Amino acid sequence: MNAAASNIVISLLAMQVAKKVDFSDPQILMGVRIAYVAVQIIILGTYYYVSYKIKQKNDMTVLKYVEPPNPMTKEEGHLVTTTVRDYDLQETSKLVRSVYMGLAMMTFMHLYMKYTQPLFVQALMGLKGLYDAKLVAIHILGKPAEGDLKRPFKSGGFMGVAANPQTDKAAIDAAEKRASKKDE
């Protein structure tokens, strides 16, 4: 089962379990709050550890790819030349930002709008997201960067349809020619 389908299944099951939990009990509510915060700390700690491991490995292998074009514009994708270290650090930064955004959204929903069930669901989904993170698989679980874990990472997109980075030589050469024409 792919990650998107398993996320839906886990979300639906977690929502059904959350309906059975008595969130009006202050002890249960405090337990769910503590669990949510603990999961967020674990996730952030793991991502910061991944960042440490990336810096420790210091893989300066050159990585070239053509970034997918924005579907809203008629511009073509542009060439990106980076290193594996910098690419992984950039991806880790995106993951950390998404955790902070989710944390801000949950704080707003829980404290201002008084929703409690999303805390329970997001605690479980946070752990699932951590397990699915490609950088965690590479740098902590020790899986080789092959197939789905090959850099640059393919984005899942909506229903599996997304513009993915192009790594073939023809696309890179064409992007280099476009870049050199713009420079002239």
The three state secondary structure string of 108-158 is HHHHHCCCCHHHHHHHHHHHHHHHHCHHHHHHCCCCCCCHHHCCCCCCCCE
Phi-psi region of 157 (alpha: psi -120 to 50; beta: other; left: phi over 0): left
**Residue 83 backbone phi and psi in degrees, to 5:** -110, 165
Q: How far apart are CA 33 and CA 59, in angstroms?
A: 39
Q: How far apart are CA 72 and CA 37, in angstroms?
A: 38
Number of folded domains in the chain? 1
Task: State the pTM of this model.
Answer: 0.87
Burial 84-100 (b: 16+ CB within 10 A, else e): bbebbbebbeebbeebe
pLDDT digits (tens, 9 = 90+) for 108-157: 999 999 898 999 999 999 999 999 999 999 999 999 999 889 999 987 65
Which DSSP symbol is given to 162? -
Which SS3 state, helix, strand or coil, does residue 24 take?
A: coil
CA 113-99-39 angle, 5° bins: 85
pLDDT digits (tens, 9 = 90+) for 50-107: 999 999 999 999 999 988 877 777 777 788 999 999 999 999 999 999 999 999 999 9
Give the domain extent around 139: 3-183
Average pLDDT, integer, range 17-35: 93
Instruction: Output the pLDDT for position 133.
Output: 94
pLDDT digits (tens, 9 = 90+) for 152-183: 998 765 544 556 788 887 878 887 777 777 76
Which SS3 state, helix, strand or coil, does residue 79 take?
A: strand
Instruction: Output the pLDDT for position 157.
Output: 57
Residue 172: other Cβ atoms inside 10 A: 17
Instruction: Output the pLDDT for position 68.
Output: 83
Instruction: Output the pLDDT for position 137.
Output: 95
Q: Are 174 and 180 in contact, with CB atoms under 8 Å apart?
A: no
